[in-house]
Amino acid sequence: MQEDAQRIAELRRLIDEHNYRYYTLDAPTASDAEYDRLFAELLDLEARHPELASEDSPSRRVGGPPVAAFTQVVHRVAMLSLENAFTESDILAFEERIRRFLNQSADITYVIEPKLDGLAVELVYRDGRLIQGSTRGDGQTGEDITEQLRTVKSIPLRLLQPVDGLFEVRGEVYMENAGLIRLNEQQLRAGRQPFANPRNAAAGSLRQLDPAITASRPLKFFAYGVAAPAETGVTGQYELLSWLAGLGLPVNRHTRFCPTIAEVVAGFADFAALRHTLPYEIDGMVVKVDSFQLQERLGNKIRAPRWAIACKFPAKQETTRLLAIDFQVGRTGAITPVAILEPVSVGGVMVSRATLHNQDELQRKDLRIGDTVLVQRAGDVIPEIVMAIPENRTGTETPVEMPTLCPACGQPLTRPENEAVTRCQNLHCTAQRLQGLIHFTSKAGLDIDGLGRKNVEQLVETGLISDIVDIFTLSQDALEQLDGWGAKSAENVLAAIREKARPPLGRFLAALGIRYIGEISAATLETHFSSLAELAAAEREQLLEIEGIGDQAATSVVEFFRSERGQHLLQRLTEIGVEPIRQASATDNLPLAGMVILFTGGLATLSRDEAKKLVRENGGQVATSVTQKTTHVVAGDKAGSKIRKAQEFGKQILSEEQFLSLIASR
C-alpha cells in the first residue's frame, strides 16, 4: 500500500511536469508513448486505491491553461479529453465498462473516426453565422482565436442552412504533410526555426496574434461533433456528421458506422494501414457510442466522457547513439538525467535529447555512454529511450553513474527512502532557486509578462533577484542598466509586476512551487482559506480534512510555512504590500454548494455513478465515509452501519427523493 501511494505521488509529479512542459512551455521532454504509459499506470493505481484519490491529480485535468495573450472564452459545455486505448483488449474492455455502467446486454453501435494530429477548436454560430472561435484550452476555458479561424478557408463563415440561436461545433484544425514541408521551407529561408510536426505547425499558426500570418498558413478543418447534441434534432453521432456536412461543415470521409465492437476492432487495424496513405497525420482512431441517448446516460468522468475513447497507434522508433548524460537540477532539488543523443530523424523530427527521469530508469535500462539505443516518439519533439541494444556494444561503452554532489552547488546529494528521485537538499542551491523563480514568473505561475526564462536568468546572474520578494522590489534604474534593456522594456516589466501584487490566492500558491501543491490542489486550498496568512497558520490535521489534500500535500504546506524561509517570505510580502486574494468560487451559487454528501445502500432510480455525478455537477462534494466534514447522508435500500454512524455524528439523513428535491428546489 505504501509503495503504491509513493508511486502514485511520483507519477502525478512526473505527469504534471510533462503537462507543464508540453502545454505551457511548448518544450516536451517525453514522447506520447511514455506519457501515455505513465498516465495509464496512474489511472490503474488510482482505480485500485480509490482511498488515495486527490483533486490535484493530473487524471482530473484536461489540456493546459489558456494563453494569456488571448482573450479567454468560457465554453458553455466543457471540451473534455479522451481516455486512451492501445490494443484490441483495451477496446473490448471499453465496451465491457459501458455495458456494466448501463447494466445493458443489448447491442450497442459505434462510430469510428480518424484521430487527427491537430488542434481541437470550438466554432460558435449564431443564427448560422460564425461569431466566435476558440481553442480547447483547459477544457473549461480556451483562447479566443476568432479572427485567426476566420482565415481557415474550410471553415464556413455562414452555414448553408441557418440554425436558430447559438450553435457550437467542435472539430480539429490541422495541416497536411505537404503544407508542412512548404511552410518549413519558408521558415528556413527566413532564418526561422522549422516546425517539428503538423500539430505544432497548426497550433503555432492559430496562436499568431496577427491573423494575416495565420491566413498565410495552409490550415484545414474537420468537424467531429457539437457541444449540445440534443439541440440538433438528430439521434446519433453518425447521423450528426451527415447533418453537419449538410450545413457546409467538412467532415472526415473515412468515418465509419460499426454495428458491433468486433467491427470497431477491425476498423482499428484498417486505420493503422490507412494512416500511411493519407495526406495528413493521424495518430489513432476515436471510438464513440453512436446513440446520443446512451451518451447522455453514460455521462462524463472528471476529464473524459465514458462514451468515447482514443485508440492510439504504436509509436514510431529509430536507433541512434547515446553520446553523454547531462544531470539537471529542478526547482525541488530533483536531479534529472538527460540523454544527449546523436541527432536522428524520428517521424520527421530531428531529435538530440531525451529525459531519463531518475536513477532507477538509468539502471533498469542499463544505459552506457556510446550505446546504440532505440528511441521512439509519437508526436513530441523530445522522445524517450526505450532500451539499449547490447548486441551492438564494442566494449568501449562506459557505464552511467549518478553524481554524488549537486552539479550546481556542489553539496552532497541524497536519495530519500522509498523515493525514486535523487535530490539536492540544499535550500540555498542556486539551480533550485533559479528554477523556482522561473516557475514563479512563468505561465504556470503568476504569468508575469516580460519575465520569461532568459530574463529571469539574467536577473539572477546579475544579482538583482535571489528570491520571490526581490521581483516585487525591482527598480527602473537597475533594470535599465542591464544589457538588452531600455527605459520602455523596464517600465513594461515593472507595470506587469505591479499588476500581480494582488494575485488570486490559488494562483499564488501554485506559483510558490510548494512540493505536492499543483494548480488543482492550490485552487482547492483557496476555497477553504481567505488569505495566505490564514493558510500559513493552519495545522496539518485541519488540512487533511479537506477533500483532495492528502498527507504529503498537507505535510509539505505546513513544513513550508513553518520554515525560516516561509516565515521570512510572509513577513516580507506583508511589508512590500503583496497580498494574494481569495476569489469567489464558480460553485458558490449551485444547489449543493458547501455540501459533502455520502451515499449508502441501493438507490432506486440512479446508479451510484449517476448520483455522484449529480452531486459534482451541482457544486457539492462526494464523501466515501462518514466524517465531521460530511453534511448529508443519502440512504437507499439496505443502508447498513453508515446510517448509525451518521446518526451518532448528527448528520442530516435524506431519502433518494429528498436528495433529488434538494437539487430541484433551488
Strand partners, 133: 123
Cα separations in angstroms, 161 against 122, 131, 225, 230, 238: 19, 16, 17, 18, 19
What is the dihedral sign for C-alpha 219, 222, 228, 234? positive
Euclidean distance between CA atoms 142 and 227, whole angstroms:
14
Helix (H, G, I), strand (E, B) or coil at 67: coil
Using CA atoms, how far apart are residues 639 and 45, in angstroms rounded to an integer? Answer: 28
What distances in angstroms separate CA 71 from CA 137, 141, 207, one per listed residue? 12, 10, 12
d(CA 385, CA 323): 13
Whether residue 142 contacts residue 78, with contact meaning beta carbons closer than 8 Å, is answered with no
Strand intervals (E) in 90-226: 110-116, 119-126, 129-135, 141-143, 166-175, 219-226
**What's 229's DSSP letter?**
G
3-state secondary structure of 233: coil
Tell me how far apart the alpha carbons of residues 377 and 398 are, in angstroms, rounded to a whole number: 26
Q: Return the half-sphere exposure (C-beta side, CA atoms, 13 A cut-off) of residue 440.
A: 24
Residues 6+ apart with CB under 8 A from 253: none
* Residue 411 DSSP symbol: P
Q: Is 613 a catalytic residue?
A: no
For residue 575, what are the contacts with CB-CB under 8 A and spacing of at least 6? none
Facing residues of 282 across strands?
Answer: 116
What's phi and psi for 301, nearest 5 deg?
A: -85, -165
DSSP string, 402-419: --SB-TTT-PBEE--TT-
Q: Which residues are catalytic?
A: 115
